[in-house]
Each structure stands twice: as structure tokens, then as C-alpha cells.
Structure 1
């Protein structure tokens, strides 16, 4: 059982993530590539995702990623740096900057529970080229198994945040924590998570960041290292309507033409009511700089136009951009 101990300062500093954490969704998605208990909603997604990953021919990097993210037992803390909550680019940069002492410790812990590929030693040694190759493989996997399904992810997480925000408004942080039954129970400053490995986490005034996730089915998770920023990752409430479905506007053909992330930016501009650069970055799990770069390229290509609204830059499809999306959607029809 996991026991998390709160002080009054911790209660005041407990909050819910405002958007998906792309690296948590990726790591949990990689785990979901292998069948596990409670994953019936993901059968079709697994078939599509496995096919996409195989076609990417990532070779030994994919084998290493799967070895580093087993769906049972411990997996390394360094795969989920706290900065990833601000976007995929920030998370990848933070992962590449992980101290060697942490890499060695985490890989050693994992190696004590299972056999690892020989190139895991290069990760443990912090070889820059290996970390670059590893994180680029993670980026590709994110674009293949998470990004095309972001509409389903966002819908489920938005529903989850509404549920928790209602509990927070009605009962404060204690009402919020109480609302997370039966996954966990709150009583007298202690949050208990049954079914978790035996672990105690003292927050010491740092507060707790609650991160609902779409691809988590095994139950709440946290970091093993108590000195890392405290997080509790847990499965968002899902119903049968939350089956992961590929966003119709971002099929492989358009991604092959202009790049999968840029295709996702174009589709998001065409389907979201508010399309500021900040909203696009948060929606797609990319950095603000990356979102700005992609919209600039799309604007110079005549696919979007942008205008200032006070301190925001808003983006809209041009006729050419809309025609491209609609033609691409028509190509999906049998």
C-alpha cells in the first residue's frame, strides 16, 4: 500500500494538472502495447499502435524503450521528469539532462528485476548520443501511439477535471481527495492507495500534483525517489464512449506530407474554437516555441492566417488549409 502524508501546507498546495503530461501518457501507452488487466477499451488502439510502431522500424531503440517501461513492477523515474507537464519538448530536454547518478541508480534498480538489453548500460552511463537516440525514439512513438488519439485523450481528461473541480468547489482539497474513492482513501492527513507497492511518501510542505492519465489502467502511480517533485498519477474516469479513436483529420497520408506534428497543428486549428499558440501547445503536448514554429511554417505556406488579440496570437485556417484537411479526410472514405 502507498501512504502519502500531508501537512496543512501540503493540503494548501495540492492541485490537479491542467493538461495531459505527454511523457506519462507515452510511457503508459508503451506499457499498453502489451495486454494487461483492465485494458479492454484499448484492443483496437493496440492493434493500430503496434502496426504503426512496427512500420517505424525503430529496431533496438524500441526494444530498449519497451524494456525500460515494463507494464508490471518498477520502471525508472527518469523517464518522467516533472518538466514534461509543460510539454513534450520540455520533458525530452529534461530527460536528456538527467544526472548520471540518477540514470545509473534507476537502471540498476530495473536490472535487478529483469534482464535488460546491452545498450541499457549506455543509458546508465549518460552517453549523450544514446540519450539523443532514446528520446528521439520516444518522440516518434509519441507521434505514432498518442498524438493521433489526442482528441479521445483530451475529452476523457477534461471530463475527469470537471468531476474533480466540482468536488474541490464543494469540499475543498479534502473533498477532492475524498472524491477519488475507491482508488484511494483519505483520512486524517493520510492518503492511502491499496494495491500499490509498499511505500511511504512524506510531502513535507511541497504539496501534491494530481495527474489524471488516459492510458493508465493499473492503478495510481508515483515516483520511487521521495526527493523528486511529488506526483500521483491515476487513471481518469472512463466510460465505453472513451474508446481511443484516431482523429479523422490527421491520418498517415497528411502526416507523411507535412509531418505528423504539423498535421496535428493544422487539424487543431481547424477544429478548436480557440486556437492561440498557447492553447495549441497545451493541446498537442509540445512547447510554446515549437507550436509557434509550426504555425509560422503553416502561415508562410498559406494554410493558416494569424492575428493578434491583446496579448495572444490566434490562428485560423485559410481556404487552402481547409481544402487540404477536407481533401485528406475524403481520402479516408472507402
Structure 2
């Protein structure tokens, strides 16, 4: 809901926003007031499930089971920055019909903004799970945490989140920290507001900026010719091959060149800030930057 009310991440979410935003108002009703484009939104909207990988129904059931004190505390926090409508006050009082109306609105939102794109979203989750699993096996926790996002910095025993947007320190007090990848978390990791809740760090998955741009392997002739003239035919092919995150071996196979040549061209594209590269376990993963995506798609 946040991303549908702001213009963040235009290269990644712009086309999705155009497809969804026109009908979102009819689907949400006043629920958007609980998830403003900036700032705090109630923690009870993102319940932590006992087991990872739960379905929508599990999340809805957890929301419907929110204790009244949690509803009141979260909505009181929200009211510090904005006016809460009358139905929000009823929600804070634990009114069951209001809770069910909220659950119905969230189901409608899921059908509109998530379900039609689920195959791609799930693929991003699967890729993240594989990359993080490989990193944990090969590098341990200390080597994995900084790979989750560029703003994360591990200096044992403290995990720093650069940027200053999370506010106060969070002390785990032996409770552990659950890491939750999110497709719609942008631009950096976030935490639940209440320090007494089970600690959860939500971080963005890696994105393919061209996920709704049609087939990136078959662009129109004019941009392809121009891109080849600018970068050289082979380097343009390598950039196009990296539109979906891949290893150096995959990059070489897709481009029809040797792994050594693929690594060389990827290095030049990286220096030009058209590609990012990171090591995950024994593999080197390349993915296109927003600048590279704009150049590739003719929007630069």
C-alpha cells in the first residue's frame, strides 16, 4: 500500500503501479489511511507468523486474532501523526465487524496488487532463499548479513543499518532476529516499531527492473542498434543477458562468449555503474542497476 501511494522505485515498480493504482481506491476504501505513503503504519498489519512461508489466510487469521491492547497501542501511535477516522477508533476498541471489514479489504488488495504478479514475486523469493542459503553454508552469519542489503553492516556483535531511517537501537535480549525478505519493501530494510514485539528485520529482495517491461531479450530494433553502437555489440549483449540476475557462467552462456570474456565485460559495465556484482558463497552474481535498466530499455 505504501508503494501505491508514493513514487518510490519508479524503474522497478512504475509499471506495476500504473496497472494497479487506478483501481486501488475502490478496493481499499479508507484502509489506505492505515498505511500512509511515508512514516509509521501499525505493526498489527504485518503479523509475525509462527512458521515462515505462511499463506494469506494465515496472515489474515493472525490479524483477526490481534489482542485489543495491541490494536489500541498501534492506532494510538498512528494518531500521533495523522487524524484517525471514526472506524479507526472502533478498530482500536477491538470491534469485530471493523476487524473483519479490514480483513476483507486486505483480501481485495491482495487479489488486485499481488496475486496477478505472484509467479514473478515467488521466483524472486526462491532466488533469495537459494542465495542466502548458499551464503550461510559457505560464509556463516557474519558473511551473510551484509549480502542481504548494501545498508547492512556487521561488526560483531552489532548489526548496523545505515541510513538513519530506523531510529532507536533495538536490543534483542536473547530473543534472536528473524530475517524476512520482502518484494515490496523499498528502498531499504525496516523493523517493527514496537521493541517489545518479536524482533523482525524485513529486507528487500533483489529486483529485475524489467519484470513488467515485456521480453527483455526482444527489444525493438532501434534501441538495440543504438545500444550496440554505444557499448559495442558484445557488451550490449552482456548487459541484456544480465537483465535477470545471473552468475558469470550464465552470463557467458546467454551471451555466447567464454566465462573469462563475460567476466571482463561485466567488470567494465560495473565500472560504468550499469551492473552490480556480489559474491554469494562460491558464485559471483551479476544484476543490472537502475541506470543499466534505463539504458537497456531506452528510458535513459
TM-score by length of 1: 0.59
CA distance in 1, matches of 2:206, 2:69: 37
Does the CA contact (< 8 Å) of 1:222 and 1:232 recur in 2? yes
Matched, 1:114 2:85: no
Q: 1:141 to 1:93 in 2, by over 3 A?
A: same
Q: 1:208 to 1:74 in 2, by over 3 A?
A: same
2:288 aligns with none
2:16 aligns with 45
2:198 aligns with 229
Does the CA contact (< 8 Å) of 1:39 and 1:217 recur in 2? no
Matched, 1:103 2:71: yes
Matched, 1:171 2:139: yes
What is the correspondence of 1:78-93 to structure 2 with a 5 Å cutoff? 78-83=44-49, 85=52, 86-93=54-61
Partner of 2:170, secondary structure, is strand
> Where does structure 1 lack aligned partners over 5 or more consecutive residues?
1-29, 246-334
2:176 aligns with 207
2:121 aligns with 153
> Where does structure 2 lack aligned partners over 5 or more consecutive residues?
215-300
Question: 1:204 offset after TM fit, Å?
Answer: 2.2
1:238 aligns with 207
Does the CA contact (< 8 Å) of 1:36 and 1:71 recur in 2? no
What is the correspondence of 1:280-295 to structure 2 with a 5 Å cutoff? none
Partner of 1:43, secondary structure, is helix
Question: 1:67 offset after TM fit, Å?
Answer: 0.7
Deviations 1:254-292 (A, max 9, x none): xxxxxxxxxxxxxxxxxxxxxxxxxxxxxxxxxxxxxxx
Deviations 1:79-131 (A, max 9, x none): 11112842211211111111111111111111111123221111111100000
Matched, 1:129 2:100: no
TM-score by length of 2: 0.66
- Identify which of structures 1 and 2 has the higher relative contact order when contacts are C-alpha pairs closer than 8 Å and 6+ apart: 1
Question: 1:206 offset after TM fit, Å?
Answer: 2.1
Question: 1:140 offset after TM fit, Å?
Answer: 1.2
**Comparing 45-54 and 191-200, the one that deviates more:** 45-54
CA distance in 2, matches of 1:244, 1:201: 39
Matched, 1:36 2:4: no
Does the CA contact (< 8 Å) of 1:153 and 1:244 recur in 2? no
Partner of 2:148, secondary structure, is coil
Does the CA contact (< 8 Å) of 2:128 and 2:206 recur in 1? yes
Give the ranges of 4+ consecutive aligned residues of structure 1 lying more than 4 Å apart after TM superposition: none
Number of equivalent positions: 211
